[in-house]
Amino acid sequence: MARKQPFLAAEFSEQFKASYAALQGPQQNGVDRAVIALLKQSPTPGMRVKPIEPDKYYYEARINDGDRLIHRTGDGTVYFVDVVRHDDIDDYGRRPKEGARSKRP
């Protein structure tokens, strides 16, 4: 049976890779589930995918009570930016400045 929606492409930032590597196995499993759901364009209600205020440039997806997956989508690609504690999400509330060197896509 054919899929209704094709998988989106994925790009992982260096920051995402470093954050992911620092997680314990069960946390990595949660990130894996969230990544696959986003690539399949089928996030669960428990993921609570929503834009990060105030600029709404990045989105967050809930992994568990404390961790969030930071990402954005464009041109058929999901850009995975970082995995952060919920308390640190405000760091992603603003769009990166044009011309500024950033590790974030």
- For residues 64 and 105, the answer to whether their CB atoms sit within 8 Å is no
- Residue 69 scores a pLDDT above 60: yes
Q: Encoding tokens for residue 28?
A: 């990595």
Q: Is residue 103 part of a domain?
A: no
| Sequence-distant (≥ 6) Cβ neighbours of residue 47 within 8 angstroms | 34, 37, 61, 62, 63
Q: Is residue 97 part of a domain?
A: no
pLDDT digits (tens, 9 = 90+) for 24-60: 999 999 999 999 999 999 988 899 999 999 999 999 9
The number of folded domains in the chain is: 1
Q: Is residue 4 part of a domain?
A: no
Full domain range(s) for residue 32: 9-92
pTM attached to this predicted model: 0.88
Find how far residue 71's CA is from the centre of its chain.
Answer: 3
Q: Is residue 37 part of a domain?
A: yes
Nearest 5°: phi and psi at 60? -115, 145
Check which CATH number belongs to the domain holding 70 and give it: 3.30.2310.20
Could you tell me the pLDDT band of residue 1, with boundaries at 50, 70 and 90?
A: low
